[in-house]
Structure 1
C-alpha cells in the first residue's frame, strides 16, 4: 500500500506528519500489510501571508489548501494541528482519527527565568490573544507584544527585542526542542486553546475501506472525547483566534471534566465554566459550557456586545 500524506511544509508540520506517517507504517505492519507513506507538501494561506492571523482562524487559514488538495486527489489523507481546524464540518471530508494527544500546555521560553522571576515590564511575545490575556491576568505589568514566525524565528527574539516567548509545548516536543521550554505553564493559570496538542487526520468520504480501517486504528477514544468537548464549547461561543477563549478537558475513571474560560483582552476579567459527565456526553458537556458562558456575558468579554 503506497500512501500520500498531505502536509504543510513548515518544520513543525512536516515533523508531526512524519511522526504520524511512521505510526501508520507500524500499524500497517502489525496488521500484516506492507505500507509506505510519502509526504506531499502543500502551501497554505497561513504559510504565505506574513500578516497577522488574528481573526482569520475561522477561514481555516492553515487547512483549506490541504483540504482542497485532498479533494483533488493529490494526496490520500491529511494531518492538521487540531487547534487550527474550524469547528464546522467540511463537505466531502471526515476526521477518521485523532491520535493520542501530546502535551496540551503552553510553555514559557526565556533565558532561564520563570514567569515569576521576570522583571517588571518584561517583554513577552505571542501571536495569540488567548495567551496574551492570560499572561496579563497573572502579570498585569508585562509588555505583551505580537509575534509571528516559525519556532526558530520566535525563539530567536529572546535576548534581542524580547525577554521571552510563549509557545505550545506540543510543538517544541515534536521538533525535539523541549529543552527550550523554561517553564511549562499550568493548565489552570494558562488554559490551553481548544484542541491544543492534538492532531486531526482527514480522509475523503469515499476513501477506500482499507485506508479508512488502517487510519482508524490510530484513533484514541479519550483524546477524541476531550477535544470534542473543547471544540463544541468553542463552536457554541462562535469564537476564532481573535477571541481569548480557552478550553481543556481531561478524562479519569470514565468521566470527562471540561474547564472553559473566556477572558477579556486585558486579562482583568474572566469567566470560567467547569462541567463534567460520562465520556459519551462529551459533545453535550461542551455545548452546555458554551451556552452557560454566553448566558453569563461571554460575548461582552469577546468584544461582541
Structure 2
C-alpha cells in the first residue's frame, strides 16, 4: 500500500512531511507527498485575525482527506482547530521540538531593551503578550513562510520579529541573532507535529498510533483542551504549555487582552491521571477573575 501524505508547500511544511514520510517508511511501508495549497498560503498579506476563518492553513488538507485524495495530512498542530471536521481525527506524532518563541534581532549588536520597539509578527497572541510586557511597541504585520519572514526583517528597519523556535530549528536557521523569550507562553501545542486522517480508516488509525509519543500526546491534549474550553481559535491571545515531570504535569496558561492592557494566568501542578479532568477548573479560574470580559471582546471583534 502506498500512503499518500498531504502537505502544504512551504519549506517547513515539506520538512515536516518528509520527516513523517521517513517515519512511515521505517515501518516498512511506502509513502509519497501530495502538495496542496491552503488559504493561508494563497493569501499571504491579510492579517491572520482579519481572515475570519478557522483552519486557514488546514481546511484544504481536510477537504483532500474527505475526498480521499490522501490518506493522512501533516500539520503544525498549533495551527489545527481543536475540533476537527466531522469524519476527521487529529493526533500528535513524534517528539516535541522546543515550544518557545524567539525574537530574531535585526542587528546582532542591538540591545532588546529599546524604549520603543518596532516588532514584526502576524500573531495576535504574540502581540498581546509582548505589548503587555513592553507597552511602547509598534507592530508590523508579518506573514509568509519562515525564509520569507526573515527576508522581510533584513529588508526592514524593525528591531526584530517573533517566531517559533521549532520552525527555525527544523530549518537550521537558529543563530546568535535569536533571543529565546522564556517569559512568553507559547501557543497550545507549539512545537508539536499533528496527523489528521479519516476517522473511518482503521489502517491509518493503527499506523498513527505507532508513531505517537504518549507524553507528547497528553501534553497536547491538555493544552488544546484549555484553548477549546476558553472558546478561543488558533489565533486567539491564549497561551498554554504543559510539561511532564515524573508522575505530574506542570501547566502554565494565559489569556491576554488583545491590546496588551491586562492578562490572566494560571499555574498548576497535578498528577498526570487527573490533568485532563481539571482543565475546566483552570479555565473557570481565568474567566471568573475577569477573563470572561476579554473573551467577549475577542468574539465581538
TM-score by length of 1: 0.90
Distance 1:251 1:56 in 2: 35
Whether the aligned pair in 2 keeps the contact of 1:229 and 1:282 (CA below 8 Å) is yes
Query: How far off its partner does 1:114 sit?
Result: 8.2
* Counterpart for residue 78 of structure 1: 73
Whether the aligned pair in 2 keeps the contact of 1:60 and 1:84 (CA below 8 Å) is yes
Q: Secondary structure at the match of 1:147?
A: coil
The correspondence of residues 78-157 of structure 1 with structure 2, limited to 5 A, is 78-113=73-108, 117-157=112-152
Query: How far off its partner does 1:9 sit?
Result: 1.3
Distance 1:135 1:290 in 2: 22
Whether the aligned pair in 2 keeps the contact of 1:114 and 1:183 (CA below 8 Å) is no
* Larger CA deviation: 51-60 vs 5-14: 51-60
* Counterpart for residue 290 of structure 2: 297
Q: Secondary structure at the match of 1:117?
A: coil
Whether the aligned pair in 2 keeps the contact of 1:126 and 1:144 (CA below 8 Å) is yes
* Counterpart for residue 167 of structure 2: 171
Q: Secondary structure at the match of 2:163?
A: strand
Q: Which runs of structure 1 show a deviation greater than 4 angstroms over 4 or more consecutive aligned residues?
A: 55-58, 112-116
Distance 2:18 2:176 in 1: 21
> Does residue 1:206 correspond to 2:200, yes or no?
yes
Query: How far off its partner does 1:23 sit?
Result: 1.6
Q: Secondary structure at the match of 1:132?
A: helix
Residue segments in structure 1 that go unaligned for 5+ positions in a row: none
- Which digits, 9 at most, give the CA deviation of each residue in 1:75-134, with x for residues without a partner? 111111111111113211212543211110001101354885343213110011111121
Distance 1:258 1:58 in 2: 29
Query: How far off its partner does 1:237 sit?
Result: 0.8
Whether the aligned pair in 2 keeps the contact of 1:129 and 1:241 (CA below 8 Å) is no
Q: What is the count of residue pairs matched by the alignment?
A: 296
> Does residue 1:18 correspond to 2:18, yes or no?
yes
* Larger CA deviation: 162-171 vs 279-288: 279-288
Whether the aligned pair in 1 keeps the contact of 2:78 and 2:234 (CA below 8 Å) is no
Q: CA RMSD in A?
A: 2.1
* Counterpart for residue 229 of structure 1: 222
> Does residue 1:38 correspond to 2:69, yes or no?
no
Distance 2:256 2:91 in 1: 33
